[in-house]
Amino acid sequence: MNIIEIIEKKKNNKKLTKEEINYAVNAYTIGVVSDAQMAALLMAICINEMDEEETFYLTKAMIESGRMIDLSSIPGIKVDKHSTGGVGDKTTLIVAPIVSACGVPVAKLSGRGLGHTGGTIDKLESINGFDSDLTTEEFVKQVKEVGMADVEQTEEIVPADKKLYALRDVTGTTESISLIASSIMSKKIAAGADKILLDVKTGSGALITNFEDSVKLAKMMVEVGKRYGKKTVAFITDMNEPLGMTIGNGLEVKEAIKTLEGNGDERLTELCLSLAAKMISMGKEESLEKARKEAEDALKSKRALEKFKEFVKAQKGDINNIKVSKNTFNVYATREGYVYDIDEVTLALECLNMGSGRKHKDDKLKLGVGILKHKSIGDYIKVGDLLATVYYEDVKANAKKIESAFMVGSKKQEHFPLIYGVIE
C-alpha cells in the first residue's frame, strides 16, 4: 500500500478500508510513515472525519499495535474513567481515589496534555518522583494491592496512540470526533477494565465546543465500547468555564488534594461526586443513590484522601513535594460589577505560553506554572479586587489578557449547568 494514496483518498472525503487504516497506523508506529505524512492524514481526517465503522477500525488498529492488559486475576468489576479534557479538569485525581476507597478497583491509562487542555499524566508528574511508566505486570500488581493505578501507555500498550497523540498535540489536529474517540477508547479497552465511564466535555473550553458534536462523540465512544463488549456510559458535562480554581499541572494537583481534604470548590466537588457515584454503581451493581452515599462518606471520612496518598506512594511520588513555581504576581480588577463569564481559553493559552503545555512535540513542560483564580461566575467585584495569582518561571503571562478574561456586567449570572445528560 501507499501512504500518499491513503492521504489523497481521505483528503477527497472517501471512506478508508480496514486494510488501509491498519497499514497507516502500523507503518507510522514502526517509522515507515513519517511525522509529516501522518500529520497530513490526520488533517484530512480532521476536515472530513471518519464514520462509525472507520473509527472502530482505527481504534482496533491502535489497540492491536501493542498488547492488551489482562485484569482477570483482580477480584471484582474493574472500572475505568476518562475525560475528553478541559481547562482546569483535574477530576480523575479526585474521582479515582473516591471510587477505589469504596472498594471498586480503578485501572487507568491516561494521556498527556492535548492543545490547551492539561493531561492527567503531566499533572501527576508534577509530584516529585512520580513514576507513570510501570510495566504491565507492575500495573496489574498495583491495582490488585492498592486498588488503583494510573499510568501512561507504554511501548507495550497502545504505542500507536502514544505517537499519534503527541503528533496531534502540535499539528492542530486535536479537534476531531473520530481521532478523539479512537484515542480514548483504544486506551480504555487496552487497559482491561470491565466497564468504562466517560466524561465528555462540551463548551468553549472543551476540545469539542459544539454541544451536538459532543453528543455525537459520546455516542460514538459508547458504540465502540459496546462492540468490544464493554459496558460504557458517557456523561455530557460543562466546559464553558474553568473547572475549579486552578489551571496548571502542579496547582491542579494541590487543588485535588484540597478537594479530597473536604475544602474543594463546590462545583468541582459536585461533579466528582456524581462521576464517582456512577462508577461505584457500575462496579458494585448497586443503586445510584446508595453509591452516592458511599462516595460522600469516602470523601467526608478522608478515606479517599488516604487512598490518593497510598496510590502516589506506590508510584514512587512524594506528596509533600509538588512542583509549584515560586515566582508570582497578582492580577487585579479594573472594572466593577458581576462576573458573568470567564474566558477559560484565554487563561489556558496564557498558561500554555508560560510552558504548562507543549507547542512542539518534544517540549519539556514547566510543571509549576499556572493560574489560581480568586473569583468565579456570579461574584461581585470592585476595582482593585484580586482576580488571579499567576505562577511563572522565566516567561510571564499577560496580565491585561488575564484581567480581560473575567467578563463583568451589571447583572448577576448563574453558573452553566454542570451535567447536561447521560448516554448509556
Q: Is 168 a catalytic residue?
A: yes
**What is the pLDDT at residue 172?**
87
Q: Does any domain span residue 186?
A: yes
Q: What range does the domain containing 35 cover?
A: 3-48
pLDDT tens, 32-82? 999 999 999 999 999 999 999 999 999 999 999 998 899 999 999 999 999
pLDDT tens, 305-349? 999 999 999 999 999 999 999 999 999 999 999 999 999 999 999
Out of 108, 116, 187, 254, the active site residue is: 187
Q: Does any domain span residue 321?
A: no
Q: Is 292 a catalytic residue?
A: no
Q: Does any domain span residue 273?
A: yes
**What is the pLDDT at residue 313?**
98
**What is the pLDDT at residue 118?**
66
The answer to whether 283 and 295 have CB atoms below 8 angstroms apart is: no
Q: Does any domain span residue 67?
A: no
Taking the C-alpha atoms of residue 85 and residue 87, their distance in angstroms, rounded to an integer, is 7
Element (H, E) at 338: strand 337-342
Out of 65, 183, 274, 325, the active site residue is: 183
Q: Does any domain span residue 171?
A: yes
Q: DSSP letters of 344-388?
A: HHHHHHHHHHHTSS-SSTTPPP-TT-EEEE---TT-EE-TT-EEE
Is the pLDDT confidence value at 98 over 80? yes
Q: Is 82 a catalytic residue?
A: yes
Out of 80, 161, 194, 265, the active site residue is: 161
Q: Is 373 a catalytic residue?
A: no
Indicate the pLDDT class of residue 414, thresholds 50, 70 and 90. Answer: confident
Out of 10, 78, 81, 82, the active site residue is: 82
Taking the C-alpha atoms of residue 231 and residue 254, their distance in angstroms, rounded to an integer, is 33
**What is the pLDDT at residue 361?**
64
Q: Does any domain span residue 41?
A: yes
Shared-domain flag, residues 344 and 390: yes
Shared-domain flag, residues 118 and 220: yes
Shared-domain flag, residues 29 and 85: no
Shared-domain flag, residues 181 and 43: no
Q: What is the mean pLDDT of the chain?
A: 94
Q: What is the mean pLDDT of residues 6-30?
A: 97
**What is the pLDDT at residue 117?**
61
* Tally of domains in the chain: 3
Q: Residue 85's closest CA among 196, 194, 169, 1?
A: 169
- Cell 472498594 -> residue: 103
Out of 116, 163, 168, 375, the active site residue is: 168
Q: Is 374 a catalytic residue?
A: no
- 108: cell is 487507568
What strands, in cross-sheet order, belong to the sheet with 386-392?
Answer: 246-247, 370-373, 386-392, 327-332
Helices (H) and strands (E) in the chain, counts: 16, 13
Shared-domain flag, residues 232 and 355: no
Q: Does any domain span residue 60?
A: no
Q: What is this structure's pTM?
A: 0.90
